[in-house]
Structure formats: C-alpha cells, structure tokens
Chain A
C-alpha cells in the first residue's frame, strides 16, 4: 500500500485504539474527530469512570466545595467512540497490532495511543500500607474516600511535601484539622522549586498552623489491634499520633502492562520522539504507536533534547493534541510537541505557577516582588540563560518570562522592571537537592538522553 493511499484509508476507515481514558486520552480522541478521523475509535480505561479532572481532587474536593463525582472533564467534541471502561489493558502485541485486555478480550488497532498516566507510589511497607487510615491520592475514588474520612479525622499526617502533599495539607488546615507534614528534604517543594522558594513554602505552612517537620523521614506506621492507624515513627525517634496518613511520595508510570512488548517502556515512562511516536527497545521509532501525557518522556529542543517527563495537566492536553494530529497526518504534515512546561498549584491561599524546568536551575533571581511578602517572581538560570520562572501570586507576568525562556535570554536578566527590589539585584544559588535523590509531586523530571533508558529512577525507600 503506498503511503498516501494508506493514510487516506486510515483516516476514513482505520481503527484507532487509545489506552488510558483520562485527560490525555479524551483530548486525543476529540482532536482525532475534530481533524476529520471517521474510522473506529476505542477508548480503554481501567477506571470505571468517564474521564474526569484530577487537579480539583487535592483542592476543591478535599475542601468539600466540589464533590468527587462532579469533576468530569468537559467534552469539547462528540467523539462517537467505543468505551471499554473498568477494564485494564494487560499486554501489547506490536507485531499483530493487538492490545490484550484483563477480561481476556483482544482489540486490534491500526494506530495505538498510549496515555496510561501514572499511579501514586504506595507506602513501601505493605502491611503498614494496608492499615485503615492510610491513603494515597490519585483517583476520584481515592479523593472521595479521603474526603469522607477527613470529616472524622483527629490528626492528619502527610508524608512527603511535594505539590500534592502540600495541597492536601492546605485543604486539611482550611478544614480546621491538625496536620503534621513530614518531608525528607529541608523544606516543602524543594525538589520542584529549590531551597530558596522551598523556604517560603515552609513559612507559609507554619504560618497556617501546619506542624512541619523537615529533614526527617517516617520510618514506620503503627496500627492498633483493630488495624487502624494509630501513630507514625519518625527518623529522629519521635512519634506522631495520627489517625489519617496521606502517602504522597510521587508517582510511578503505568507501564507494567507493556513489559515484554518490545516497546521502550520502563518505570521512567515510555520514550517517544518529539512527534509523540514511541521508541522500541532498540531505539527505533515506531510508526503506529504513539504516546501522550504523564506516561510519556520526550526530548525537548529548549532543554538540550533531554528527555523530560512531565506530570503537568497542560502538557497532557498539548501532547495529546499533537499525538492525535500526527496519528492521522503524513510525515510532512506532522508537528513537534514543543510545549514549554508549565504548572500551577494553589495552596495556603497562594497561587503558584511555574514555566520552564526550574529543577535545571543553578541560580535564582527574585526579579519582582519580595520573598518575605510571599508575592514574587523568581527566575532560574542555567549556564547563563533563563531556564525557568516561578510566581507566587504574580501570575500575570509569567508569559513574559516564558518568552525569555523560549528566546534563551541571558541570565540574570539585566533590565529594570516594575516591582524590582533590592533583593533582586543579585542571583543566589537555587539550592536544589542532589538530583539523584527522588522528589515528590507533579513536576519535571529530566531523564537523560537515551530513548531506551529503562533504569529505575526511584528506589522505594522510606520517606
């Protein structure tokens, strides 16, 4: 079959299968239809729910201002698809172009999109993880369970102060619950934003009444005779009495189902090219398997073509749209996924946003505002150029810094600006922990240059 003819046939009668029926999966399906794909479309998702939105789960849902079952993603386009919900994909046969399902079924495809995202890393000690009162937060069901439990909680222990952990702590405090946060690093958000900003996050937490314990690990969880969580033991020998523990130690890519498939998939995600095509284990790019969203790791031109893994809402949407477009386009019409990483979080009344890859930053300059006022813009520099920026309650300037990043503007920026203060005259070390140490929470992970790099990034230890 010649290329053009195949593509025409593919667009009108082909079979497209999407595994992972969440944000990336849904947006890809909509884009396919929007761009004129009329063939058959199947969405496979192991959760029983229609696609819903996760960011509210650690915010409005925990506060009780939105209910977990009211977080469905808005539909932008009618997609006329076959939905296989509540059934997991368990295997992939690339030669036969078939996806195996947990119920024994198999689904054939002409083009496949993998958007299986990540799952919350569980507490590593299984019997402790099974204690009543120990939670993770990734899904709508997790959120509903947790929110119910919070109504009767006496003290909540949050293990790991990445973005999710910090947001949960914030919601609990807003509900008036006593909260202890234990973080291995010197401050919250350190892995994502570095120590300078982390220090601000720490003050913010303490000011809101969080019992914040940094530089410590939880060494064990202890239950009572009925199997209910009673307390946690910390590495400094102290104990914290808590009846709810939230394990927020970051996420693991959902790639186990691809073991042995021959795809370049491992615990760090599935490597793909800038056009979202997956690599196989030989480092050869496939032409019929595409990847998008949290599960993908893809090279980025702005960051030296390093492979980036992003757990960012905006990335999932943008990458899904590019993947969908490329699945039904000829090679000359394909587009690269050039999205500049961008992330937001809201906690303790502050809106935090970032662009670029802060964790690459060697130095940070407080370009506008002041750390002490909790309203500022920090610019990160890497090898003499602007690589990222973060704002606390100064969102409206972010676009400007994004352009500096895109233009590889020199660091530190040397021009006068509104709200430029004395502390913004000189950059200081951004103070990121050793990159080989794991960090928590939705952020950017740099994962090297090789598409077939399947090393484990995180050895589940103790927080």
Chain B
C-alpha cells in the first residue's frame, strides 16, 4: 500500500466503527512512514519503548517546521492559556504534574478518589433514575456525556448552581474536538473559542474566590498549596483545571459507551457482571485494551534520529503511537481480537505508559466500574437498537455519537 493510504483510511469516518482490520494491516510494518514527516507506530513493544524513550517529546515546539506543517488541521485549543503538562516535557511536566497530584492522589492525598465513591454512586443513580419509564434511551446523551462532567465539577469544587453552565461549555468544547463535516468550520471555531474564553474567565473568578475562602476541593488545594515545588501561578492553575476537564471528559464518555456496547454484544459477560459485580475490575482493564477510548497519541516528536524496528525516524518528525493497535498485537496478547474479561497479564496501553500515563486513571476506572455495574443491574433486558451505532468523527477519541438502547423497564 502506498505511503499514507492506510492512515487516510484510518482517519476516514467510514471506517470508524471497525478500524481494527486496518490496524492489523498497519502492524505488518511496525513503524511505517505515512507522510513526509509522519511516522506511525503500531506494535505493542515499539509503542511501549517509545513511550519510555527520553528522546521523544510531547512538546509540539520541537516539531520540525515541515512536520508541523504536514499535520492534519488541528483545533486551536490553547486560547492564550499556557500548555498544560500533557503537552510539556520534563522538567516542567514533572513539576506541574507533581503539584497537581498532591491534592489528588498518593502519597499526599491517598483517599481523594476513594472518598468520591459515594458521591459518584449517587450521580450514577440520579442519571439512571432520569431514564424514567422510557423504553428507549440514548446512553450517550442521557448518561455517558453528563456523568464525567459532573464528576469533574465535584472534583474541582464547582458550585452546584454553576454546574449547568459548566456542562454547556464542556459540550461545546467536546463538539469542537469532533468536527461535524456539515457545520461551517469558522462558526465551530468561534463557538469553541467563545466557550473556552468563558470557561477560562469563569475559572479565573472561581480561583480568586478560592484563594480567599478555600474549600476542601482540588481547585482550592491547587491555589493555596505550598508544595516543595512552590505554588502554581494562577495561569497554571487555570490551564491545569482546563486540562482535567478536557482529558477527563470525552475519554470517560467513550469508556462507558464502548463498555456498554461491548457488553450488549457479549450478553454472557453482561449477565456475569450482573451476578458478580467484582468482575467489574478485570472487565474494565479488558475494555481499555479491547476498545480503548484514546485510540492513538498523535502529538509526539523526536528530539534525535531514532532507530527502531529497522526504521530511522529522523529528528523533528511527528510520531503517532497507535495504542489501540498495540492493544491488539498478537505478539503481546494471545488471541487479541477476543474480548475476554478473565484475561491474565493485561498490561494494555489504554492509559498510555511512561511519564504521561493517565493522571486520572484511578478516577476513570472507578467512574466506569460504578457506571457499568449499575447499568447492568438496573436496565431490564437492554438491547442494541442499531449495530454498529453511529460514530463521532474523531479518530483519536473514538466512540459512538449515540448509543440507542431499548429496554423493558428500569429496575430501582
């Protein structure tokens, strides 16, 4: 196949419902050049090794001009915010991530996520109660979308009365990450810019308030904490809060939706989950392997020429790491196209690996476990209305735009 064709097929929306055969094709060349300055990595060990390679940068400023120009058009997200740590290299990345971790996880705050359990459970119950006595729901709009935004709101400490506004900004930003071809791109960009600006101004105001009257939420901790690394600037707090919102939204939506879709395609597993809720833990790992919400990481670049799998990736090239393909690599996972919640040794790449591995993973796992267990328990005789469901445009954050499910009733 000629240079770039495969990649174009992968980004082609027509193949969104099942990109896996294309990934299998990709893996025939573990590291393949797919554009002038674009290299695509598709096998498990090669992805893993590049994620642990200090010659790889997440900072787009290190791209050669040529590689930067050859990238597909990307939504301008920053809107004057400094890049958050997702797009920075050490030492800045490490410092900001450490400071963000202090109020979020071990060793400093080991119980934050655990303590959110009860609250998460209530949010899930409320959303399912909202299905009422309908005999058909759209899991995406009725459940998967609102859930993670509410969670981030509670994490950051957004006042309840402001949550609705927060949801609307989040939706607009999410939509901008998922260009609808029928919509005028200029209008979309303006909408998203405006949402970002409003969100930024809102958060800036809230940060000011929290500085003088801190609560026990994460935003308060970020503005008041005196860590060994010092304190974040207000700008850094702002961009970090925005990162948490964006990184924790679409991804979790997809995990829950892909999860339910996969369960409905595997009714025996759905039944098992209903009977043994403890299955949720390994099930989540298998879902993250089998249908990972983040299919590929498109923002790495090389700081030096790197020899890998018989190919030299030149300095400054753009490197795409196709996590979803690595997760189906038969060299790593026996019978990789089989969905098997009992799979042993399931070190998938769903949360990435190395220094940028998912910051929110413990929270994401808990959210999806609670959601899927509760959906499995309460939906009576759920059935897919259409298979495959319609997918969103986005090839990176891949997931259904709607997941219509018909049901007999909703148990209490």
Using a CB–CB cutoff of 8 Å, the interface residues on chain A facing chain B are 367-369, 373, 375, 377, 396-397, 399-400, 403, 415-420
Contact partner, A369, options B89, B91, B303, B305, Cβ 8 Å: B91
Minimal Cβ-Cβ distance residue in B for A419: B90
Cα-based distance from A223 to B49 in the complex (angstroms) = 57
Whether the pair B90, A399 counts as a contact (CB closer than 8 A) is no
Evaluate contact between B52 and A416: CB separation under 8 angstroms.
no
A-binding residues in B (CB < 8 A): 49, 52-57, 89-91, 94, 303-305, 354-355
Q: Which residues of the partner chain A approach B304 to less than 8 Å between Cβ atoms?
A: 415-417
Residues of B within 8 A of A377 (CB): 54
Are B94 and A368 in contact (CB-based, < 8 A)?
no
For B90, what are the chain A residues with a Cβ–Cβ distance below 8 Å? 368-369, 418-419
Task: Give 10 CB contacts A-B under 8 Å.
Answer: A373-B91, A397-B52, A399-B49, A415-B303, A416-B303, A418-B54, A418-B57, A419-B54, A419-B94, A420-B54
Which residues of the other chain, A, contact B89 by a CB distance below 8 angstroms? 418-419
Q: Which of B57, B89, B91, B305 has the most CB of A within 10 A?
A: B91
> CB < 8 Å: which of B52, B94, B303, B305 contacts A400?
B52
Query: Is there contact, CB below 8 Å, between B55 and A416?
Result: yes
List 7 extra interface pairs beyond A418-B54, A418-B56, CB under 8 A.
A369-B90, A397-B355, A403-B49, A416-B55, A417-B55, A418-B57, A419-B90
With A and B bound together, what is the CA distance between A418 and B56 in angstroms?
Answer: 7
- Pick the 4 closest A-B CB pairs, nearest first: A417-B54, A419-B90, A415-B304, A418-B89
Given contacts A375-B94, A418-B90, contact A396 B55 (CB under 8 A): no
* Contact residues in A for B49 (Cβ distance below 8 Å): 399-400, 403
B interface, by DSSP: helix, strand, loop or mixed?
A: loop
* A375 CB, min distance to chain B CBs, angstroms: 7
Residues of chain B within 8 A (CB-CB) of A367 are 54
- Which residues on the B side are within 8 Å of A396 (C-beta)? 52, 354-355
**If A396-B354, A396-B355 touch, does A419 touch B52 (CB 8 Å cutoff)?**
no
B91 near A415 with CB under 8 A, answer no
Across-interface contacts of A373 in B (CB, < 8 A): 91
A418→B52 contact, CB < 8 A: no
Residues of A within 8 A of B354 (CB): 396
Q: How far is the CA of A367 from the CA of B53 in the complex (A)?
A: 13
Minimum CB–CB distance for A413 against chain B, Å = 10
Residues in B whose Cβ lies below 8 Å from that of A399: 49, 52
Taking each of A373, A397, A417, A420, which has the highest tally of chain B beta carbons within 10 Å of its own beta carbon? Answer: A417
Q: Which residues of B contact A369 (CB under 8 A)?
A: 90-91
Residues of A with C-beta under 8 A to B355: 396-397
Measured CA separation A416–B52 after assembly (Å): 15
Q: Report chain A residues within 8 Å CB of B55.
A: 415-418
Q: Which residues of B contact A403 (CB under 8 A)?
A: 49
Given known pairs A396-B52, A400-B52, A403-B49, the reply for A417 and B303 (CB within 8 Å) is yes
Q: Please, which residues of chain A bring their CB within 8 A of the CB of B303?
A: 415-418
The residue on B at minimum CB distance from A395 is B355
Q: Would you give the shortest CB distance from B284 to chain A, in whole angstroms?
A: 22
Of B49, B89, B90, B305, most buried by chain A (CB within 10 Å of CB) is B90
CB distance from A334 to the nearest CB of B (A): 24
Which residues of chain B are near A419, meaning CB under 8 Å?
54, 89-91, 94
Complex interface: chain B residues within 8 A of A397 (CB)? 52, 54, 355
Q: How far is the CA of A10 from the CA of B49 in the complex (A)?
A: 41
Nearest-CB residue, chain A, relative to B228: A349
Residues of A within 8 A of B94 (CB): 375, 419
Closest residue of chain A to B50 (Cβ to Cβ) is A400
User: How many Å from the CB of B98 to the closest CB on chain A?
Assistant: 9
Alpha-carbon distance between A370 and B89 when the two chains are bound, in angstroms: 15
Least Cβ–Cβ distance between A97 and chain B, in angstroms: 37
In the complex, residue of chain A having the shortest beta-carbon distance to the beta carbon of B88: A418
- Rounded to whole Å, the gap between the CB of B294 and the closest CB of chain A is 19
User: A367–B90 Cα gap in the complex (Å)?
Assistant: 13
Name the distance in Å between B27's Cβ and chain A's nearest Cβ.
21
Bound form: Cα–Cα A417–B90 in Å = 10
**CB-CB < 8 A to A417: which residues of B?**
54-55, 303-304
Nearest CB on B from A395, distance (A): 10
Q: Closest CB-CB distance, B41 to chain A, in whole Å?
A: 15
CA distance A93 to B152 in the complex (A): 68
Alpha-carbon separation in the docked complex, A367 to B54 (Å):
10
- Give the shortest distance, in Å, between A400 (CB) and chain B (any CB): 5
Report the Cα distance A418→B303, complex, angstroms: 8
Point out the residues of chain B lying under 8 angstroms from A400, CB to CB: 49, 52-54
With A and B bound together, what is the CA distance between A69 and B322 in angstroms?
A: 46
- In the bound complex, what is the Cα–Cα distance between A416 and B56 (angstroms)? 10
A74 CB, min distance to chain B CBs, angstroms: 15
**Bound Cα distance A418, B54 (Å):** 5
Chain A contacts for B91, CB-based, 8 A: 369, 373, 375, 419
A194 to B304 alpha-carbon distance, docked (Å):
30
**CA gap between A396 and B94 in the complex, in Å:** 11
Distance (whole angstroms) from the CB of A53 to the closest CB of chain B: 20
CB distance from A170 to the nearest CB of B (A): 14
Nearest CB in chain A: distance from B221 CB, A: 20
With both beta carbons as reference points, the residue of chain B lying nearest to A393 in the complex is identified as B94
Chain B residues lying within 8 Å of A375, measured Cβ to Cβ, are: 91, 94
Q: CA–CA, A416 to B53, complex, Å?
A: 11
> In the complex, which residues of chain A have a beta carbon less than 8 angstroms from the beta carbon of B54?
367-368, 377, 397, 400, 417-420
A420 to B53, CA, bound (A): 13
Query: When chains A and B are docked, how far (Å) is the Cα of A373 from the Cα of B228?
Result: 11
- Residues in B with CB closer than 8 Å to A415 are 55, 303-305
In the complex, which residue of chain B has the Cβ closest to the Cβ of A403?
B49
B178 shortest CB reach to chain A, Å: 30
- A419, B55: Cα distance in complex, Å: 10
Distance in Å from the Cβ of B250 to the closest Cβ of chain A? 25
Complexed CA–CA distance, A133 and B176 (Å): 69
When chains A and B are docked, how far (Å) is the Cα of A438 from the Cα of B398?
Answer: 58
Q: In the assembly, what is the distance between CA of A415 and CA of B57, in Å?
A: 13
CB distance from B310 to the nearest CB of A (A): 15
CB distance from A290 to the nearest CB of B (A): 27
Whole-angstrom distance between the Cβ of A411 and the nearest chain B Cβ: 16
Q: How far is the CA of A419 from the CA of B56 in the complex (A)?
A: 11
- Which of B49, B52, B89, B304 gathers most chain A CB within 10 Å? B52
